[in-house]
Amino acid sequence: MSAGLLVAVLLASALLEGSGWAGGVGDGNLRLSVTVNGRADSDVRPPEVRVGTWVVKRYRLLNVSEADLHRVRVLDPGAPAGSVRCPAVLPAAEEAECTARFRAVAGRHVHPVRAEGDVPALRTRLTATARAGYAGVAGALGLTEEVVVATPGTGGGGASATVTYTVTNRGNLPLYTVRVEDPGLALAPGAPDCGGQGGTVAVLAPDTSAFCRTTVRLRPGTYRSTGRASGSDRATTLGTGGERVTAPVLTAGASAVFVVREAPVAPARRTPAPGAPAAGSSAGAAGASAGAGAVPAPGAPGALARTDTGTGTGTDAAGRPAAPAAPGAGAAPGAVPPGAVPPGAVPPSSVSPGAVPPAPPPGLRRAGVDDEGFLGRVRRRGREAAEFGVATTLLLLLIPAAVAAALLGSRRK
């Protein structure tokens, strides 16, 4: 073997080692096509996929070069990071498939896709590009509600409650025939007023809201409103295998708990009988008599439960001897009970207002006070000293004069 031939063989071995046949490697030797949910022309007609359902992308790679491709990968901005799976090696003159599976999000997502593979022996990288994507669509229905209870009027009964239902289209497709109901309040079909259309909103555009209201008369109690809304965007979408999927019925719910209170009852008017005293005057008279020494009724706070024994004393509720009743207890205001005025004394009721009754004789004043005690005697003696102060002064002046007159009379004899 000549030296030139040997060099050629060694060079070819070095180029082919670990990388396969490297002939015919260059631009255009790697080709890429993408299908999205079965549609191959997603670059110009992106398939409509319902938001929240699965998107399946299939990336078909064809290696038409004469070298194996290593570290095969697909870069797709329209797929979540890490969602694309590819084989590690794509042999020469063969094809392989990379796949991605993820949930659809709202909006149009069409982006350029790039596939790559390395030829380590030649220190080169083959690439291919394509455009692909999908359109995430859906009408998203939302519902809230608010309850306002009117103030109950007088006369008993319940009150009216006004419920406002707010339906909102949070999606990117119009909603049609949105119906509002409330099983919790047992409303009749079409009871909520949705702008003069019964209980239905004909068309609800994306990012808009509509209001439905109803007023019900309820008895006192606690209630729970359970609003329900339903509608459809009427959009047919594609499934993961390219099958057609009809639009579902979209629903939303809301609830609110509220209380209807008892209405106050108006006080009844009383018409006094002819000649009867007014209510205010009779109440005042009753209060005056109660404050003029009336005895508490049995069972009232401070009242003494008495049981007559025939001896003028009694027992309380516990069976203990009760103190004798005070003189005049139970008598009418201003009346003097028998035996309360000593003989010869003037009853208080016989003295006109402003007049001073005459002082009773000393003997009568001392009657019945032998048991008044030491302090009682001191107070009584003080009063007597004030009453007889003038008389004592006259006696002190007249006694010496009488003595002198007696002495002068005896000398003349």
Residue 392 has pLDDT above 90, yes or no: no
pLDDT value of residue 25: 80
| Domains defined for the chain, CATH in brackets | 19-137 (2.60.40.10), 141-260 (2.60.40.10)
Q: Which class for 227: exposed (0-12), middle (13-18), buried (19 or more C-beta within 10 A)?
A: buried
Residue 184 has pLDDT above 80, yes or no: yes
Residue 113 has pLDDT above 50, yes or no: yes
The one-character DSSP state at 193 is B
Q: Which class for 134: exposed (0-12), middle (13-18), buried (19 or more C-beta within 10 A)?
A: buried
Among the listed residues 157, 145, 160, 158, the one whose alpha carbon sits nearest the alpha carbon of residue 215 = 160
pLDDT value of residue 397: 73
Confidence band for 269, pLDDT divided at 50, 70 and 90: low
pLDDT value of residue 350: 47
Average pLDDT over every residue of 52-75: 97
pLDDT value of residue 190: 79
Q: Are 134 and 54 in contact (CB under 8 A)?
A: no
For residue 389, give the 3-state DSSP assignment.
helix
Q: Provide, rounded to the nearest whole percent, the portion of the chain with pLDDT above 70.
A: 61
pLDDT value of residue 194: 93
Helical spans, DSSP H, in 213-306: 279-291
Please state, in angstroms and rounded to a whole number, the distance separating the CA atoms of residues 361 and 358: 9
Higher pLDDT, 184 or 355: 184
Q: What's the one-letter identity of residue 411?
A: R
Helical spans, DSSP H, in 144-231: none
- Phi-psi group of 407: left, alpha or beta (phi > 0 → left; psi -120 to 50 → alpha; rest → beta): alpha
CA-atom Rg of the chain in angstroms: 58
pTM exceeds 0.85: no
The string of pLDDT tens digits covering residues 192-232 is 999 877 889 999 999 999 999 999 999 999 999 999 999 99
Residue 261 has pLDDT above 70, yes or no: yes
Q: Residue for token digits 């299939």? A: 58
pLDDT value of residue 195: 85
pLDDT value of residue 321: 47
- Report the range of poorest mean pLDDT among 165-179, 317-331, 372-386: 317-331
Among the listed residues 199, 209, 206, 212, the one whose alpha carbon sits nearest the alpha carbon of residue 235 = 206
Other CB atoms within 10 Å distance of the CB of residue 64: 14
pLDDT value of residue 91: 96
pLDDT value of residue 346: 47
The string of pLDDT tens digits covering residues 4-13 is 443 343 344 4
Please state, in angstroms and rounded to a whole number, the distance separating the CA atoms of residues 21 and 334: 139
The string of pLDDT tens digits covering residues 274-299 is 655 554 444 443 343 444 444 444 44
Question: What average pLDDT does the chain have?
Answer: 76
pLDDT value of residue 387: 59
Six-digit token pair at 345? 């004394």
Pairing mode, strands 48-50 and 124-137: parallel
